[in-house]
């Protein structure tokens, strides 16, 4: 019963309740991974509410913060446990651009949906994308860009990946991207909302 309560508290952004429940569940011997799963279910609901327009950025930032607090408690207990996930996605904001609010939401929701996300941060040079894809073999790469002046960096990064013979699917996201930008830079998908990203991931990973 408590696990459902945890998911619900997460979805309702009840910070104190979430932390208390995580501790209680741990204390009563529930497997840490089960607890993470319950939290993720709450996160999925948060994402759904955002998509429906019931939640806004401020709610998502709060959800991220609560999740972080919960994970801080759980992490020591997770060591050694193999976390199963649906697949690996590399993501970052491209060179020259430091906007990351949108990207962070996408990261949060992808994690919530059960993917392993390697977040490279902001102002990410193309070499770092290449390196990360080589290391992880990720079949999907997400690139966030808000500044139109940095859309050129999308193209350069995608070309750098292809030049190395790396062929992950690439999804670009941000407020000014569209079909034209997608074609111009040679990406496979474009996203103006986080759920576009989730849909693309589901397609790539067949999940």
Partner 1 sequence: MSDKEKLFQERFKRYTVALECGKPDKVPVVFPLGEWVVKYTNTTLQEAYYNVDKSNEIIGDVIRDLDFDVMFGAINLWWPPMFDGMDCKLYKFPGIYFEENSGFQYVEEEYMKAEDYDEFIANPTQWLATKYLPRICGEFAEPGSYRATVALIKGAAAFAMHNDKLTKTGEKWAKEYGIVSATTGMTKAPFDTLGDALRGTKGILLDLRRRPDKVLAACEAIVPHNIAYAMITAAGDTSLPCFAPLHKGAYPFLSLEHWQKYYWPSWKAVIEGLWALGKRTFFFAEGDWTPYLEKIAELPDKSIVFCIDLTDAKKAKKVLGGRFCLYGGVPTTLLTYGTPEEVKDCVKRAIDELGGDGGFVLAAGGVVMSDAKRENIVAMIEAAREYGVY
Contact residues for ligand B12, defined by CB under 6 A:
57, 91, 96-103, 105-106, 142, 144, 146-148, 171, 173-176, 191-194, 196-197
Q: At what angle do helices 32-52 and 15-27 cross, to 10 degrees?
A: 160
Strand order in the sheet with 189-191: 116-119, 88-93, 140-144, 169-173, 189-191
Q: With respect to ligand B12, which residue has the nearer C-beta, 2 or 192?
A: 192
| Nearest approach, Cβ of residue 142 and partner 1 (Å) | 19
| Nearest approach, Cβ of residue 68 and ligand B12 (Å) | 16
DSSP at 190: E
| Nearest approach, Cβ of residue 58 and ligand B12 (Å) | 11
Binding site for partner 1 (CB under 8 A): 13, 15, 50, 53, 55-59, 61-62, 65, 96, 98, 101, 123, 147-149, 151-152, 175-176, 178, 180-181, 184
42 binds, among partner 1, ligand B12, none (CB under 5 to 8 A by kind): none
| Nearest approach, Cβ of residue 177 and ligand B12 (Å) | 7
> Residue 142 and residue 110: Cα distance in Å, rounded?
11
Q: What angle do CA 190, 191, 192 make, to 5 degrees?
A: 135
Residues 6+ apart with CB under 8 A from 1: none
Q: At what angle do helices 15-27 and 57-78 cross, to 10 degrees?
A: 20
In the bound complex, which residue of the shown chain has the CB atom lying closest to ligand B12?
A: 102
Q: How far is CA 51 from CA 17, 45, 57, 66, 106, in A?
A: 24, 10, 11, 20, 12
26 binds, among ligand B12, partner 1, none (CB under 5 to 8 A by kind): none
Q: With respect to partner 1, which residue has the nearer C-beta, 81 or 176?
A: 176
């Amino acid at each position: 019963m408590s696990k459902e309560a945890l998911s619900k508290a997460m979805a309702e952004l009840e910070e104190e309740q979430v932390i208390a429940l995580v501790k209680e569940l741990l204390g009563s011997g529930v497997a840490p991974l089960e607890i993470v799963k319950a939290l993720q279910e709450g996160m999925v609901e948060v994402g759904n509410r955002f998509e429906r327009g019931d939640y806004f950025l401020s709610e998502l930032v709060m959800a991220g913060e609560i999740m972080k607090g919960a994970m801080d408690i759980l992490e020591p207990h997770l060591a050694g446990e193999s976390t199963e996930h649906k697949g690996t996605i590399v993501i970052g904001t491209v060179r020259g651009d430091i906007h990351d609010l949108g990207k962070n939401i996408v990261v949060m929701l992808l994690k919530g949906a059960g993917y392993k996300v390697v977040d490279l941060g902001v102002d990410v040079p193309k070499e770092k994308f290449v390196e990360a894809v080589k290391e992880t073999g990720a079949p999907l790469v997400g690139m966030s860009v808000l500044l139109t002046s940095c859309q050129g960096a999308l193209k350069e990064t995608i070309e750098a990946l292809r030049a190395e013979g790396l062929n992950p699917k690439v999804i670009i996201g941000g407020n000014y991207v569209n079909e034209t930008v997608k074609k111009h830079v040679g990406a496979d998908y474009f996203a103006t909302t986080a759920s576009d990203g989730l849909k693309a991931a589901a397609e790539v990973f067949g999940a």
